[in-house]
Amino acid sequence: MAQQQAEVAGPIDAFRQFFSLRRDVLVLSLAMFAFSLGFQMTNRFIPDYLFYLGAGGFVVGLFATLGNVIGAVYPYYGGAVSDRVGSRYALTVFGFLSTFGFAIWLAAAYVPTIDLGVVAVEPWVWVFVGLLLAQCWKSFGIGGHYAIVKQATEPGHLARGFASTETFRRMAFLIAPLIVAVLVVDELMPGFLWVLVIGIIFALLGTIIQHFLYETDQDTLGKEFQGVGQVVDDLRALPDELRPLLVSDALVRFANGMVYAFFILVITFEKGIGLSLTLPVIGAVDLSPAAFFGVLLSIEMLVALLTMAPVAKIAEYTGLKPVVALGFFVYAIFPVMLISAPEDNALLFIALFAFSGLRFAGLPAHKALIVGPAEKDAGGRVTGSYYLVRGAIVIPSGALGGFLWQYVTPEVSFTLASIIGLIGVAYFLLYGKEFEAYQ
The whole-number pLDDT of residue 379 equals 46
User: Does the pLDDT of residue 77 top 60, yes or no?
Assistant: yes
**What does pLDDT average to over the chain?**
80
239 vs 386: CA distance, rounded Å: 10
Task: Name the 3-class secondary structure at 115.
Answer: strand
In the chain, what are the domain boundaries? 11-213+224-438
Q: Class for domain 11-213+224-438, per CATH?
A: mainly alpha
314 vs 120: CA distance, rounded Å: 56
433 vs 389: CA distance, rounded Å: 19
Distances, alpha carbon 75 to alpha carbons 125, 141, 152, 380, 386, in Å = 24, 7, 22, 10, 11
Using pLDDT thresholds of 50, 70 and 90, give the confidence band for residue 125. very high
Q: Where are the beta strands (DSSP E) in 288-405?
A: none
Using pLDDT thresholds of 50, 70 and 90, give the confidence band for residue 3. very low
Question: Among 220, 201, 163, 179, which Cα is nearest to 11's?
Answer: 163
Is the overall model pTM greater than 0.85, yes or no? no
The whole-number pLDDT of residue 84 equals 58
The whole-number pLDDT of residue 407 equals 96
The whole-number pLDDT of residue 214 equals 63
Question: Among 164, 167, 197, which Cα is nearest to 179's?
Answer: 197
Using pLDDT thresholds of 50, 70 and 90, give the confidence band for residue 377. very low
Distances, alpha carbon 74 to alpha carbons 43, 80, 133, 437, in Å = 17, 10, 10, 31
Contact predicate 76/402, CB 8 Å: no
- What's the average model confidence in pLDDT over 144-159? 57
Provide the angle, in degrees to the nearest 10, between the axes of the packed helices 242-259 and 57-85.
130
Contact predicate 256/68, CB 8 Å: no
Name the more confident of 77 and 281: 281
Model confidence pLDDT, tens digit, residues 383-396 = 667 777 888 899 99
Q: How far apart are the first and last CA of the chain?
A: 26
Provide the angle, in degrees to the nearest 10, between the axes of the packed helices 87-108 and 57-85.
150
Using pLDDT thresholds of 50, 70 and 90, give the confidence band for residue 221. very low
Phi, psi for residue 121 in degrees, rounded to 5: -90, 105
Name the more confident of 283 and 343: 343
How many CA within 13 A on the CB side of residue 5? 22
- What's the average model confidence in pLDDT over 120-134? 93
Name the more confident of 21 and 397: 397
Provide the angle, in degrees to the nearest 10, between the axes of the packed helices 11-18 and 23-42.
130
Q: Which residues contact 70 (CB under 8 A, 6 or more apart)?
A: 131, 132, 135, 139
CB contact burial 393-413 (16+ within 10 A = b; e otherwise): bbbbbbbbbbbbbbeeebeeb
User: Does the pLDDT of residue 300 top 80, yes or no?
Assistant: yes
